[in-house]
Structure formats: structure tokens, C-alpha cells
Amino acid sequence: MSITIELLDSMLAPSPGNPAEAHYRTIPLDSRVRELTTLLTQLHGENAANAGRCMLAAVLLRREVETLAGKQQLTGLAPSSAVSLMGEIANPLMTLFLQNEVTQSRRQIGHIIAELSSSLSLVSVEDGKEWMKTVLNHIRPGCGNMDPMTFQLLGDIADRSPLTLWSVGSAEVFSSLFSGSIEHIQRSTCSLDQLEASMGALLQVGIAHEKAQRIMSSSSSKDQMEQALMAQFDEKSTTVDASSPSAIIGKHFLPTMLEALTIFGNSLSSNQVDVMSSCMSHLSTCSIQCPSMMAGDDTSLTCLLRTCMKFAQINSQGDEDITFLKLSALDVLATITSVPQIKRLILKPIGTSPRCVMQGGGSEKSPLLKFLIQGNVNDNNLDQKGVLYVCAELAITGVDEDEENWSEDPASVYDTESSWEDDHTALYAESLLETFVENLGGASTLQSIFQLVDILLASPSWQNQRAVLSILERCLAAAPATFVPHVGSTVDVALRLIQSSSKRVQYQALQLLGALCCANTVESDEQPATTQPILVRENYGDKILEAIAHLIQSPCTKVASHACLTVVSYCRGGNGQGDCMIPIEKDLIVPFVGSLLEALKLPLSVDMSQQGVSEGSLTVLIRAIGATACLADASGEAFLPHYGIMGGLTATMKACPNVRTHEMAMLRGAAIEAASIVGQAVAGPDGEQASLYANDASEIMEFATSLLSSGQTDVVPIDQLFAACARIAAVMGSQYVPFMPSILPHILKRATEKLEVSITDSEDSSNKSNEEDDGGYSINIPGMGLKKIKINTTQLEEKANSARAIYEHARSLGKDFGPYAEASADAFLPLLHNEYSGDVRSTSAQALCQIFKAACLSASAGSVAQALPQNLLPVLAKALAKQLSQESDEDELEIRFAIADALSEVMYDAFTHKDANGMRIAQISVLNAREIVGHVMILIAGCLTRRSKLIAEMTTDVVDNDELARCDEKLHSEQELLTHLVDSVGYQLKSLGASFIPIFSQLVAKPLGKLLTSSGTRDGRARLSATCLFDDCVEHCGPQAASTYA
């Protein structure tokens, strides 16, 4: 034998250079597989000395079996030889698994068998099916005896080979496998470990069916490798199919298992808590991936809710393991209630239509809803511990009690709400409460929430007060429409508690006030409010800003830093976003700027010439500079009286140049951005006061160009440097052009830099695809094993920021950007198809449309040759249309919107820009237009389908005002997308005139013609879009079009 015990020992204790590993790799693959199998047979047993050898042999064999699924050039084996080899080792391995009683080695052998099932199915589908039948027959006795290792093998097979498993299995097959287990459970002759193993296997089998159905319905390819890769990715399922095989076996077995779980919970010992948490983990995973199995009928769903509520209500008594069990049970409940069909079932009042919930009707709640909120179905029972109560309880008890330590810990530029890890229990409970309010609806939950709030506020405990503020913030986020009547009382609570002596309460009050500002309704002409507005700044702005100003000067750097961030939320927040991109009314901020700047003097007065500025003070300074910038941005030219602050900002921009820490770079970056924002604000919207800013703008640009020319890219974050330069370009206009040769190459260099992508062997021993902490992603590639794919995400961010910088430069300089348009287009066209980042694609699309606009303006003015925009038009338009057609992720609507907007803008500019003779600068050809319109019409059809579903859902299925508002927001987003798509067709129609008639008749008239009448669609926006295109055709495509389509 080439592989000996001595070789294994050498591999277990490697010497420098790993000669044992090198020797191992010289052995042919087929020999390695046979000899490792033989060694495993010899080594298994109770001998402790062989345990490590057996483990190593099993791990090596498992990897070799994975490799056997690879292509012949990787394995050196023809597919028939690989199948023969796997068949040769299959029965010995199964025999070893069935006979072996050593748990650890048996588990590893089970992993090999599961891998063998996967590899064999990939190489030969039919052989894989036959082997799967053999495995199922062999494990039947073990399943009947509730052997945990057998159940784990079944679960592993279901996870690795869902398609093959369900191609030979059925609800009847799996029912027979688990029937013996149910008998043991009903007779109470099983342990909790056995129950956990059987439940895990059962649920994994159900998930496997869901995966198999998804793969078969979504995969156009029959390639086995592709399907195997798809099976590794877990996807959330949002539907319940009560007739599916997974639902059938769930209804048959799950209630019995859940009842047994509840019985075990009545006398739970300390060593059983982890096992019970594993059960909750199985249930949570299945709730996400296969809700049909959990809620195939009312009995299954009711059993699930009762069991999880039982464990959610356990008294933890400070035990961390029991607290985790409670949270795990709550997580299952939160996940299952997020499924739309289950949500509607729970919310539907007795004998009433679901929509009455939205009108405040249906006072007789459904038993399931009453149970979830109250924790019981007996109205006379005052000991109500529903999900909201339990979450609130954990939000109080799960927070770190050492307030002094929290207060003394310095603020950090990396701080987030969850930075203090000792609060993880409270934060998790609060996030679950938010999910419950969203799932069960504000109309059903807020009354109970405010009852809890009143009870908690009766106590002076800072833990209670902090929890109240956090709970109110979560409810505002989960149910903004229903929360509107409570905004006033919530602001009052925040303003009262912000005066607390507790730093933790002050911090949380600031957090709530910031959230209220972000929820503030900010209307625009394009998007008027569709629900009752939330008016926080308008009614409470003076009191809020007074409270914030006081805490800006707090000695606790966490509080002072957060107060500065709350100023940012006040200035920019709105419509549920941290930056709503719509300016707030100046009278809501200008009267208070002076007092806020006075409060900011303290943090802004840090002496940067002194060494050793504390981390907390530095963080507060960075936040204070950001707050100052936002005040200037919101005030506009009204900030002019405070322009004297510019000197401090430019000085900070250059502070401590030899200190190259990341924190100092962030400080200088904040300063240069703030300086550019202040300058842009006082210059006025049309640059009427630009002369006041000219000297400071030149100083900033000289600083920026000196850094770039000397290669000192660690002094200031480059993205902030580029953003500052772009703002200065917006103010200086043509006077900025001399700086372009110094700035542009650095922007384009980042855009064109080759993206670092590496694929290496993964050291993860779980053999499961997962995202890792260092940004890499481990994935099991069939025939190659577990590989780690790592992408340099910093580069992706740099490319997106470069696109933003080019967008702003092209927009600001207009025709003066023309000479740089060709090089810029060459740099960003490839990024339009970047497969790793939607942000890169969308920002590149926006940059390219501005580049094209600048090229058109420059050609119209005679600054560049007309050939530039003409050559760029078809390449850019086709690239945008093609990429749009490939954006398949429906959750990424913003990306599609950005690209569609870019396409529409490009076609508009091509249509509108003309030379001195009245001829278009760039003209799309009929051939190219046909290709582009073909892509766009498919996208329009998809958009109309999604709108139709949303309209139907809002009419019949929506049971809560907040859900209605979310649907309405989605509908509006689709409307904006539809507008851009239709406009891109319309501008091509107008450009081509009569030449467009064949395209219109073949691609546009039939799908949109049916929308012209009310009987064709209930979607008024769809009918309007169709009408506009038909009208344009009649108007611009000549007499033939008029006679045909008028």
C-alpha cells in the first residue's frame, strides 16, 4: 500500500515543507480512494490510538470522493471509471457505517456516504438514483430505531443531493421511513437526542423537496453541475403549498414531534438546553426555506406556535443558555409569521374579511393572533406573556448592567447601534419585536405595545427607560403608517427621557429622535405623500434641536458623538431614509443654526496640534464636522453669516500630515468634504456668491492635487477627496478645467484597476457553503471540493465611488467635460457589466449617461468632433439595454431603475441635441433601435406583470395599513421604472419617425395595444403609458402611422 498508517501519522504531525502531504499527492486518485477505504475498514473501532488516524482518513476520503465528480482532465479518470470506482467503495462504506459504533468515526463515514451520493449523481444520474435507493433501504432499520447517526446521514444526503433524493423518494417513502420513529415518540420511549435527530432529518427532507422544486422550475439548463451548485444556496420561500409532499409529511409527523418536544420542556435539565436549542434551529431553518412543511394545515401551524411559545415563555433566571433558547423559539415564531399566507391566516378576524383590520374593525381577533399577542387564549388570565411581552422583557434583562463602563468606553468612528457586544441579547430581542410588529401589523400590536410602555415608564429604572425608547423606535420602523397617531406622545417621551442623568437613556433618546426625523414626511413634486404625513420637525423642531444642542457638549463621547449624528438626521432624514435626497424647508433649520454652531464649538475646538488626542474626542470632532456640513447644506446661502468656520475646516484638512492612522485620515476627509459642502452652500444654487469661495476652493484644489501628484493616498480617503473636488467643480464651472489633468487620471485609474478575485482551497471543515468573516465565501464546487472565493470589496467600493465622481464632474462641467468623455466612457463601459456588484453597475450607468450628455453638449458647441457622441450612442445604448435585461434580481429594483434612467437620458440627449444646422448630434439606427426596443419591451412586460400582482394583492390580500403603504411604495417604484422604459422607446420613436413603424407594429403595438381600454387592465398607469406611445406614433411617424393607430 502507498497510504500507510505511518504516512497518516506523518500527515497528522507535519514536518517543515510537508513532505508527507507531497508524497500523498503523488499517489494516483483511484489508488488513494481504494487505499483510504481499506484503511478506514482496518482502523475503525474503540482503539483510542486510531481515532485521529481514522478521522484523517475519513476527511481525506471525503475530499477524494468530491473530486471524483470532476471532469476527466482534473481526475485523470473517465466518467465510467469514476462510476465504477465509486461503486466499488460504496457497499464497504455502508457496511462500515451500519456496523461501526464509535460515534465520531461513524459520523465521518456518514459524511463520506452523503458525498458519494452527490458525486455519483453528478457523474451518472441513473447510477446515482440506484445508489440512493440502496441507501434509503439500508438506513430504514436505523430510522425505525431512532438512531441519531442514521438520521444525520439522511439529513446530509437531503442537503447534498436534494434532486436525486426526491427523484426516487416520495411522501409515502419518507412516511414509511419515519413511521417507526413516531411509534417510539408516542410511546415515550425515545430520548431528547433521538427526537432532535429525527426532527432535523425530517425537516431537512422537506427543505430538500423545496430546493428540488425550485431548481427544476428555475433552471433552464439540465447541466448536473449547475444544478448541484444551485442546491447549495439557501433561498427563502414565501409560499405555503398545502398539497406538496413536504406539507404532507409535515402534517403527518410534525405535530407529534412538537408535542413530544413540549413534554420534554416540562422538565428540562441543564444538559438538555443545547439540544432543545438545536431543535429550535432546525425549525427556524425550515420556517425560512420550507414553510409548507410547518404550516400545511391549521393543526401543524397551531402546534408549532404553541410549542415555540412554550419555550419562549420559560423563565431564564439569568441563565444564558436558556435565554438563547427563548430567543431561538421567538425567532421561529418571527420567521413563520412573515410568510404572507400565514400572516393573512393569523390576522383574519373571526367571521370577518381580512381588510376590516385596516379599517380598525374585527375586534374579535383570531385565536392564533390572540395567542401570539397575549400568550394565552383566556382573556381573564392577567399573566399575559405573548411575544411582545417576552421580547420587551429580554430587551430589559439582556442589556449590559454596567452603565459606568459603557459611558467611559470612548466613542469610535466604527460605532453602530450593536457595537456594544454585551447588549447582544437585548438587541436581538428588540429586532424580533420589530419583526413581530411588522408581521402582525401595527393595528394588532401597537395597543399592547403602548400598554407595555406605560408599565415600564412607571419605573425609574434606566434599563426600563432605555428599553422603552428602543421599543418605540422599532415600532416606528415596523409600522410607520399605523404609528402616526402616536408620534406626538413618542416625541414627548423622548424629550422627557433625554433629560435623564443616565447616559444610556440619553443615547437611546437621541437614537429615537433621529429615527423620528428620518420618518418625517418630506414631500416633493414628483412624489407627494400617499399616507397621513409624519410631521416631527414641523411641530417639535425647536424642542428637539434644543435638546440635541445640550447633549453635543456631553462629557460622554458616545452621547456627544450621537448628538452630532442626530443633527445629521434632522437635516437630511425623511420619508423613512437617513438621506431622503429632498431638501427640508429652510425655516425648519436656519433659525437654529447659530445656537447649534455655538454648541458645536466645544467639540470643534479640539487642539489638533497636540499629540495624543483621545479616540473619543477625535470621533466627536469627526461627527461635529459632519454635523456642520449638514447644517450648511440644509441652510444653503443662508449659511453665509457663518462662513468664518471655513478657516477651521481647511486647517483641519491639513492637520497632522505625518500622522497616517485611519482615524486621522477620516478626520481630514471629513474636513475636506465639509469645506466643499460649506463652500457650495454659500455660493448659492446658481453660483451667484461663488467669488466668496474662490480663494478657499483654490486652496482645497491645490491641496488635493498635491496629494494625488505625490501619491499620498493615505492622508485623506480618496473617495472623499474626489467628492470634494466634484463639488468644487459644480461651483467653479469652466474655471475648474485646468485641474482636470491632475484629477481625472486618478479617478480613471481606480475604475480600470483589475479586480482582485482569488479562488483557493478552503480550510472550513464544515463542507457547507457559507460567508466568512474576512469577506471570502466558501462554496463546494462539484468535482473540486470546498473552495474559498475572495473578492476585493474595497476595490468594488472604489470603482463605485469613482463612477460617482465622474458623474458629478461631467454634470458640473457640461460641455467643458467633452475632451475627457471618450477616455471616461472607455473606462466605465466595462463596469456596466460588473458581475460582482450592483452598486458598481448602477453608478457606472449613471456616470455614462452624464458622459454622453457632456459629449453631446461639447459636440453641439463645436468643442469635440461630432463623431464622438455618434460612435458612443449605439455602443452605450445597447450595453445599457442588454444589462437591464440581465438584472434578474427583483429585490434590486434600485439598480434596474438607475440603469433604465440612464438609458432614457441617453435616448433623450440623442433626440434633443443638434448642431448649428439643426441636425441631430447622434442618431440611433433602425437596426440598433430594433435590438434595444426588443430588450426594453420584455422589461416593460415584466414591470407590468409585477404591477398587476401588486394591485391585485392590495385589493384582496393586504390586511394592514403599513403593508398597504409598503405595497404602494413598491408600486410607485415600478411606476418610475416603467416611465423610464417607456420614455426610452418614445425618444427612439421620435428620432426615427416613419422608419420606426415596423418596430412599433412588430414589438410595441400588440403588447401595449390591449392596455388602451379599461377592460384590458386595471392599471391606470399602464394604460397611460400605452396611450402616450400610441399618441407619439401617430404624431411623429407620419401619415401611415396616423391612419393605422389613430
Residues 181-212: pLDDT tens digits? 999 999 999 999 999 999 999 999 999 999 88
pLDDT at 417 over 70: no
Q: Is the pLDDT of residue 253 over 70?
A: yes
Q: And the C-alpha cell for 440?
A: 402582525
Q: How far apart are CA 645 and CA 593, in angstroms?
A: 13
Mean pLDDT, to the nearest integer, of 563-574?
94
Q: Among 219-223, 300-304, 554-558, 708-712, where is mean pLDDT lowest?
A: 219-223
Q: What percent of the chain lies above the pLDDT cut of 70?
A: 91
CB contact at 8 A, 953 and 994: no
- Does residue 486 register a pLDDT over 80? yes
| 1034 confidence band (pLDDT: 50, 70, 90) | very high
pTM for the full predicted model: 0.90
- Confidence band of 76 (pLDDT split at 50, 70, 90): confident
pLDDT higher than threshold 60 for residue 350: no
Reported in sequence order, the residue ranges of 852-896 that DSSP labels E, i.e. its strands, are none
Beta-bridge partner residues of 771: 777
Given a cut of 50, whether residue 502 has pLDDT beyond it is: yes
Whether residue 680 contacts residue 715, with contact meaning beta carbons closer than 8 Å, is answered with: no
Lowest mean pLDDT among 68-72, 202-206, 868-872: 68-72
pLDDT grade, residue 714 (50/70/90)?
Answer: confident
8 A C-beta contact, residue 311 and residue 332:
no
Residue that has been written with the C-alpha cell 457640461 in this structure: 814
Mean pLDDT of the chain: 88
Helix H, strand E, coil C: the string for 63-110 is HHHHHCCCCHHHHCCCHHHHHHHHHHHHHHHHHHHHHCCCHHHHHHHH
CA dihedral 168, 174, 176, 179 (to 10 degrees): 170
With beta carbons less than 8 A apart as the criterion, state whether 374 and 384 touch: yes
How far is residue 799's CA from residue 1003's CA, in Å, rounded to a whole number?
A: 36
Least confident of 15-24, 45-54, 111-120, 721-730: 45-54
What pLDDT is attached to residue 424?
92
Can you tell me the mean pLDDT for 46-62? 84
Phi, then psi, of 782 in degrees rounded to 5: -50, 130
Beta bridge partners of 757: 791
Q: How many residues does the chain have?
A: 1046
Of residues 967 and 384, more confidence is placed in 967
Burial of residue 845, with CB atoms counted within 10 A of its CB: 0-12 exposed, 13-18 middle, 19 or more buried: buried
- Reported as a single tens digit per residue, the pLDDT across 442-466 is 999 999 999 999 999 999 999 999 9
Sequential DSSP letters for 16-59: TT-HHHHHHHHS-HHHHHHHHHHHHHHH-SS-GGGHHHHHHHHH
Distances (CA, A) of 966 to 28, 162, 960: 60, 35, 10
pLDDT band at 221 (very low <50, low <70, confident <90, very high): low
What single string gives the DSSP state of each residue in 322-381? HHHHHHHHHHHHHHHTTSHHHHHHHHPPTTS-GGGGTTT---S--HHHHHHHHSSS-TT-
Across residues 226-246, what is the average pLDDT? 79
Per-residue pLDDT band at 521 (split at 50, 70, 90): confident
Give the number of other Cβ atoms within 10 Å of residue 167's Cβ.
Answer: 16
Q: For residue 44, give every residue at least 6 positions away whose Cβ sits within 8 Å of its Cβ, in sequence order, or none.
A: 50, 54, 96, 100, 102, 105, 109
Q: Average of pLDDT values for 901-916?
A: 94
* pLDDT at position 933 over 90: yes
Beta pairing, strands 757-761 & 776-781: unpaired
What pLDDT digit, counting tens, does each position of 1016-1028 carry? 788 889 999 999 9
Mean pLDDT of 766-792: 64
**pLDDT greater than 70 at residue 765:** no
Q: Which helix (H) or strand (E) holds 933?
A: helix 926-956
Give the pLDDT of residue 355. 40
Strand order in the sheet with 770-771: 757-761, 785-791, 776-781, 770-771
Of 274 and 418, the structure prediction assigns the larger pLDDT to 274
Is 272 in contact with 325 (CB distance < 8 Å)? no
Cα of first residue to Cα of last residue in the chain, in angstroms, is 86
* pLDDT band (50, 70, 90) for residue 511: very high
Considering only residues 783 and 1005, tell me which one the structure prediction assigns the higher pLDDT: 1005
User: Quick one: average pLDDT of 254-261?
Assistant: 95
Cell of 167: 427523484
What secondary structure does DSSP assign to 701-768, as a single string? HHHHHHHHHTT-TTSS-HHHHHHHHHHHHHHHGGGGGGGHHHHHHHHHHHHHSPP-EEEEE---SS-S
Local confidence band at 354 (pLDDT 50, 70, 90 cut-offs): very low
Torsion of CA 486, 490, 493, 494, to 10 degrees: -170
Q: Please report which confidence band the pLDDT of residue 776 belongs to, taking 50, 70 and 90 as the band edges.
A: low
CA distance 876 to 56: 55
- Residues 774 and 790: beta-carbon distance below 8 Å: yes
Can you tell me whether residue 225 is helix, strand or coil? helix
Is 1011 within 8 Å of 1020 (Cβ atoms)?
Answer: no
Higher pLDDT, 1002 or 103: 1002
Q: How many CB atoms are closer than 10 A to CB 571?
A: 25
Percent of the chain scoring above 90 in pLDDT: 65
pLDDT grade for 989, boundaries at 50, 70 and 90: very high
Segment 623-651 shows an average pLDDT of 94
Maximum mean pLDDT: which of 358-372, 373-387, 958-972, 997-1011: 997-1011
Position 611 scores a pLDDT of 60
Mean pLDDT of 31-35: 93
Amino acid at 84: S
